[in-house]
Amino acid sequence: MPERRLVSGNYAAAYGALRANVKFIAAFPITPQTFIVEHISEFVNDGIMKAEFMRVESEHSAISATVSAEATGVRSFTATASQGLALMHEILAIPAPLRLPIVMPVVNRTVAAPIGIWAEYNDVMPQRDLGWMMMFVEDNQEVFDMIIQGYRIAEDKRVLLPFMPNLDAFILSHTYEPVEFADQDDIDDFLPEYKAEHAHLWPDDPMAIGVFSPPEYIQEYRYQTEQAMEASKKVIKEVNDEFAKEFGRDYHGLVEEFMTDDAEAIMITLGTVTSTARKVVMDMRKEGKKVGLVKLRFLRPFPKEELRKIAEKVDAIGVYDRSISYSAGGPAFVEVRNALYGMEKPVIGYLAGLGGRDVMYSDIKLMFEKTLEAAGKGKADKEVVWVGTRGVNP
Amino acid sequence: MSSTKITIHDLPKENLFTGGHTACPGCGAAILVRNAMKVFGKNTVIYTPANCLLVFGGTYPNISWKVPYHHVAFENTAVCSAGIKRALKASGKDDALVVGFAGDGGTADIGMQALSGAAERNEDILYIMYDNEAYMNTGIQRSGSTPYGAWTTTTPAGKVIKGKERFKKDVPQIMIAHNVPYVATASIAYPTDLLTKLEKAKNMKGFRYLQVYSTCPTGWRVPPEKTVEVAKKAVETGMWTLYEYENGKMTINVKPKLDENGNLAVPVRDYLKMQGRFRHMTDAQIETLQKWVNEKWKRDLALEKALQ
Ligand SMILES: Cc1ncc(C[n+]2csc(CCOP(=O)(O)OP(=O)(O)O)c2C)c(N)n1
Ligand code: SF4
């Protein structure tokens, strides 16, 4: 029987590592990720998690050791947030071209300045171009499930790329929700033991991993990494469907649609804001307003084809962002608009909740109303709209 | 501190770090690595950070390493090596030796944090710093390990300031302060001492640190055929002390010649004049360096006495 417990997002992540039979962890604490490290320490010290655990002296070392352990051929795990992720940046570029299927949850938190500890995506967005699969979860069940699915997807021979589930600081990391943990046997059937055939550091079968490479070779690394990222789209869907069949929870793969079929205006959201947006959609539908919602689960690989198909159906698209790329707009907005190039539909970027400010029901309603208005007019008054900012009229 | 001496005649013929690499002629680091690999044998995994060795031994497709070899970045030799070792342990291959070979820049400067962390955790790895006293791979820039007075491209012999103004950082003493099982200095000019230390370090458990004097003819402005001679002179003048620290005890393995007053007998000037990197030094600078060497030697002796 699956076990159901009330746990925090951080616990769900740590327990996911345990249930995924991770053999190596290196980690360093940072608010709001700290409890992941503490829970793993408890699991290891209580003997319920049989893994090597390096309590390293920095996040730079955490990811370095994790990369080397994965290169040695064992299933490896780390977790971080914010400044820690920024400190890792150099090493985050390593595992994808070396095809090392690490899973690393990131608890999204503001990167200074100003220093703050609440939810913002300005930690993760600067890491988009390094070859990690990146997805955003909505609740604690999804945290746990995506650690398990994450290893299955990452270790698939068609993929072999690192995997980064993102969870919102405090809203998930420190909030208790009921989470169902499947039986270990069922998880083991779904996620078999990792066999490191393509990359290992075993003296009985020597390999050089991470060698100095002249330009004659690097461009092909890039091309193959890109191909693997594209191939992951299919694998993500397959794994999603198999997981849904096995465990009864269907996340719909790269994107999840909600009431988009006859919608005039849709919002595209990342992370926990999606739950509020779903409620707004239901209420506005009661008022006869034709709105819909797309939960953008994966930012990498980027679901361009799926978004274009959805955009065909609607008249205007709003995109919610919890971080800004200065002078360009929110990163998700920029990417969606790019994907919809040539479709001649208004796309509006909404910035709200930066630095962890609460994104209210009324904020999201305003986003829908503005997008509906653009749908009616066939154009947007403003491309980038700041919502809930003192002294700024949205 | 007894252990059987290993000489070059005891080494196997087979190279696990093969010829055909692209180190400069006379490169001390290459001499060290080739011989060290003969001591370590096949059941070894190697990590190198960014440095000359990465480039001359690990450039695709001409890899000189015949054992598993790994590189991630510049500042994480100790932690990546430890990650490999822990992962080997987790997969039942705990008998393999994991060695990190880093330069002085990757050790004394940018790698110091990861090094200190791994030493404090007593990770089961052998860390070898080949000390060529500058960042050679990027074209001879000063490091914390560059000696006083030396010319580098970031400590040029200018009209006002001539060479490095600060003294060499004493990394082995920093490692001793971490109270790890084994810390030793060695030199490519003293092969028996070097090989014996490598063999000893190979067979120990826990964190072992070895710092090996490795002449860099290119960066020091020394003719390649003088590599060993220069390295010998470093020990004779007291610029380099050969010692080991094991289980809390320190032993100086080779004592330089002393005069009747117990001071170092061979002046540091004899060492400096062999190398272009010191050519610009004024008498006052040489005197300053001599004073530093005298004090360092006294401190090494005092430490040996204290750590018995
Ligand atoms: C983070 C980072 N900063 C700088 C560099 C550039 N870099 C590569 S090797 C090197 C110097 C290496 O010096 P050292 O460790 O003394 O080894 P050597 O080159 O002398 O063998 C530098 C500065 C780098 N690769 N990574
Ligand atoms: S520059 Fe110096 S350390 Fe580098 S390969 Fe040449 S001799 Fe060796």
Nearest CB neighbour to B63, from listed A57, A203, A211? A211
Both structure tokens of A185: 């046997």
Give the chain B residue nearest A202 (alpha carbons): B68
The runs of H, that is alpha helices, within chain B are: 28-40, 52-57, 77-90, 112-120, 171-177, 191-203, 217-220, 227-236, 268-272, 283-306
With a pLDDT cut of 90, the percent of chain B lying above it is: 98
Does residue A217 share a domain with residue A279?
A: no
- Count Cβ atoms below 10 Å from residue B294 Cβ, excluding itself: 14
At B183, the pLDDT band (50, 70, 90 cuts) reads very high
Instruction: Please compute, for residue B165, the number of CA atoms within 13 A of its CA located in the half-sphere on the CB side.
Output: 4
The closest alpha carbon to A214, from B136, B59, B23, B24, belongs to: B59
Domain ranges of chain B: 15-306
Atom number of ligand 1 nearest to Cα B130:
21
In this structure, the answer to whether residues A135 and A153 fall within a common structural domain is yes
Residues of B in contact with A55 (CB under 8 A): 121
B44-47 and B69-70 beta bridge pairing: parallel
In a domain? residue A339: yes
**Residue A56: closest CA among chain B residues belongs to which residue?**
B117
Quote the ligand 1 centre to B117 CA distance (angstroms): 20
Domain co-membership, A241 together with A289: no
Query: Is B66's Cβ below 8 Å from some Cβ in A?
Result: yes
Shortest CA distance to B100 belongs to which of B122, B56, B69? B69
User: How many independent structural domains does chain A possess?
Assistant: 2
Pocket of ligand 2 contains residue B23 by CB under 6 Å: yes
Give the closest-approach CA distance of B114 to chain A in angstroms: 7
Structural domain containing residue A268: 255-386
Residue ending a domain, choose from A247, A280, A313: A247
- On whether the CB atoms of residues B51 and B21 are closer than 8 A, the answer is no
- A56 contacts chain B (CB < 8 A): yes
A90 touches chain B (CB under 8 A): yes
Q: Does A276 touch chain B (CB under 8 A)?
A: no
- The distance of Cα A31 from the centroid of its chain, to the nearest Å, equals 18
Q: Which token pair is B203?
A: 């067979």
Please name which of A10, A174, A109, A83 lies closest in space to residue A353, comparing C-alpha atoms. Answer: A109
- Ligand (nearest to CA of B136): 1
- Chain B within 8 Å of A61 (Cβ-Cβ)? yes
Q: Token digits for B157?
A: 């012999």
* Type of residue numbered B112: M
Is B286 touching A (CB cutoff 8 A)?
A: no
B94 three-class SS: coil
Q: Which of B31, B51, B132 to mutate to test the pocket of ligand 2 (most atoms within 8 A of CB)?
A: B132
d(CA A243, CA A149): 8
Structure tokens given for A60:
């730079």
Q: Please work out whether the CB of residue B27 comes within 6 Å of at least one atom of ligand 2.
A: yes
Does residue A24 sit in the same domain as residue A165? Answer: yes
Distance B134 CA to ligand 1 centre (A): 9
Q: Are residues A46 and A162 part of one domain?
A: yes
Ligand number nearest to the C-alpha of B220: 2
Residue B52 predicted with pLDDT over 90: yes
**Structural domain contains residue A307:** yes
DSSP letter at A114 equals S
Low-confidence ranges of chain A (pLDDT < 50): none
Boundary of a domain, candidates A189, A216, A247: A247
Q: What CATH number is attached to the domain comprising A72? A: 3.40.50.970
Q: Are residues A286 and A372 in the same domain?
A: yes
pLDDT score for B1: 43
Instruction: Judge whether A294 and A307 are in contact, CB under 8 Å.
Output: yes
Kindly list the distances between the CA atom of residue A72 and the CA atoms of A93, A336, B85, in Å, as whole numbers in the listed order. 18, 38, 9
Last residue of a domain, one of A229, A247, A265: A247
- Determine the distance separating the centroid of ligand 1 and the alpha carbon of B127, expressed in angstroms: 17
> Does some domain include residue A394?
no
Instruction: Give the DSSP H or E segment for A178.
Output: strand A177-181
Residue A335 CB neighbours (<10 A): 23
C-alpha to C-alpha distances, B94 to A25, A194, A298, B198, B209, nearest whole angstrom: 17, 19, 39, 19, 19
* B132 Cβ inside 6 Å of ligand 2: yes
CB contact under 8 Å between A202 and B83, yes or no, is no
d(CA B239, CA B245): 19
pLDDT at B200 over 80: yes
Q: How far apart are CA A207 and CA A127, in angstroms?
A: 28
Q: Please answer whether residues A318 and A268 qualify as being in contact, where contact means their C-beta atoms are separated by less than 8 angstroms.
A: yes
Q: Estimate to the nearest angstrom the gap between the alpha carbon of B148 and the chain centroid.
A: 17
Q: Is pTM, for the whole model, over 0.95? A: yes
pLDDT of B2 higher than 70: no
Which residue minimizes the CA distance to atom 3 of ligand 1? B74
- Ligand 1 center from residue A43 Cα (angstroms): 39
Question: Domain for residue A391, yes or no?
Answer: no
Chains A and B form CB pairs within 8 A to the count of 149
What one-letter code names the amino acid at B251? T
| A290 and A159 within one domain | no
Whether A20 and A98 map to the same domain: the answer is yes
Q: What is the domain-level CATH number for residue A318?
A: 3.40.50.920
Report the relative pairing of strands A133-136 and A298-300 from DSSP bridges. antiparallel
Structure tokens at B289: 């360096």
Q: CB B86 to CB A54 under 8 A?
A: yes
Selected from 3.90.1300.10, 1.10.20.60, 3.40.50.970, 3.10.105.10, the CATH number assigned to the domain covering B15-306 reads 3.40.50.970
Is A393 within the bounds of a domain? no
Determine the Cα–Cα distance for residues B286 and B188; give it in Å rounded to an integer. Answer: 25
pLDDT of residue B4: 86
Smallest Cα distance from A141 to chain B, Å: 29
C-alpha span between B59 and A212 (Å, rounded): 5
Q: By the CB < 8 Å criterion, does B179 face chain A? A: no
Q: What is the pLDDT of residue A2?
A: 92
B33 lines ligand 2 (CB under 6 A): no
The conformational region for residue A353 under phi > 0 = left, psi -120 to 50 = alpha, else beta, is left
Interface-testing mutation among B45, B47, B62, B80, with chain A (most A C-beta atoms within 10 A): B80
Q: Which residues contact A237 (CB under 8 A, 6 or more apart)?
A: A253, A254
Distance CA B244, CA A46 (A): 39
Task: Determine contact: A218 vs chain B, CB below 8 A.
Answer: no
Q: Residue B3: its pLDDT value, please?
A: 65
Contacts of A43 (CB under 8 A, 6+ apart): A14, A15, A18, A49
Structure tokens at B80: 């990546």
Q: Which of A237, A271, A254 is nearest to A305 (CA)?
A: A254
- Asked if residue A269 and residue A198 are part of one domain, the reply reads no
Measured distance between the N- and C-terminal CA atoms of chain B, rounded to whole angstroms: 11
ipTM score of the complex? 0.97
Mean pLDDT of B276-297: 98
- State which residue of chain A sits closest to B50, comparing Cα positions: A212
Q: Residue B45 phi/psi, 5° resolution?
A: -120, 135
* Phi then psi dihedrals of residue A382, to 5 deg: -130, 140
Q: Is B45 on the interface with A (CB under 8 A)?
A: yes
B86 to A71: CB separation less than 8 angstroms, yes or no:
no
Which residue of A lies nearest to B93 if distances are taken between CA atoms?
A202
* Cα B259 to ligand 1 centre (Å): 40
Of A51, A64, A203, the CB nearest to B83: A64
Query: What are the Cα distances from residue B96, in Å, to A47, A202, B14, B46, B74?
Result: 25, 9, 19, 11, 23
In a shared domain, residues A186 and A38: yes
Q: Is B206 left (phi over 0), alpha (psi -120 to 50) or beta?
A: left
Is A175 in the same domain as A280? no
Residue A74: closest CA among A23, A26, A17, A15? A23
> Which residue does chain B place closest to A59, by CA atoms?
B114
**Do residue A73 and residue A213 come from a single domain?**
yes
Are the Cβ atoms of B60 and A213 closer than 8 angstroms? yes
Chain B residue whose CA is closest to A55:
B121
